[in-house]
Amino acid sequence: MSTWAVRRKLQYGGGAIAFLIMIIAIPVFLSLHKSPTCFDGDKNGNELGIDCGGSCVNICGITVRPLVVEWSRALNVSKGIYSVVAYVENLNTDIGAKDTQYVFKVYDENNILITERFGKTEIPADRVFPIFESDIRTGERVPARTFFEFIDEPEWVDGLVFDASEDVIVTSRRITGEDTEPRLDVVIENTSLRDISDIITHAVLFDSDGNAVAASKIVLKFLSRGEEKKLTFTWPLPFDRSIAKIEVHVTVAL
The full set of domain ranges for the chain reads: 64-158, 168-252
Please give the pLDDT value at position 21. 65
Q: For position 50, what pLDDT does the model report?
A: 61
Reference 85, options 110, 114, 119, 59; nearest CA is 119
**Distance separating alpha carbons of residues 184 and 210, to the nearest angstrom:** 18
**What local confidence, expressed as pLDDT, does residue 59 receive?**
61
Superfamily of domain 168-252: Immunoglobulins (2.60.40.10)
Of 150, 140, 175, 46, residue with least CA distance to 97: 150
Q: Alpha carbon of 1 to those of 8, 12, 13, 14, 15: distances in Å?
A: 11, 16, 16, 19, 21
Nearest to 253 by CA among 228, 221, 231: 221
- In the DSSP assignment, the letter for residue 59 is P
H/E stretch holding 172 reads strand 168-176
Query: What pLDDT does 191 receive?
Result: 94
Please report, in tens digits, the pLDDT of each residue of the chain (254 residues total): 555 554 555 455 555 565 666 677 666 555 655 666 676 666 666 655 566 666 675 666 557 899 999 999 999 999 999 999 999 999 998 888 989 999 999 999 999 999 999 999 999 888 999 999 999 999 999 999 999 999 999 998 887 666 666 799 999 999 999 999 999 999 999 999 999 999 999 999 999 999 999 999 999 999 999 999 999 999 999 999 999 999 999 988 76
Class of residue 46 by CB neighbours under 10 A (exposed 0-12, middle 13-18, buried 19+): exposed
List, in order, residues 6 or more apart from 221 with CB less than 8 Å away.
197, 198
pLDDT of residue 165: 64
CB atoms within 10 A of CB 24: 10
Please give the single-letter amino acid code of residue 76: N
CATH class of 64-158: mainly beta
> What gap in Å lies between CA 31 and CA 27, rounded to an integer?
6
Check for a shared fold between 64-158 and 168-252. Answer: yes
* Predicted pLDDT at 107: 99
The whole-number pLDDT of residue 27 equals 62
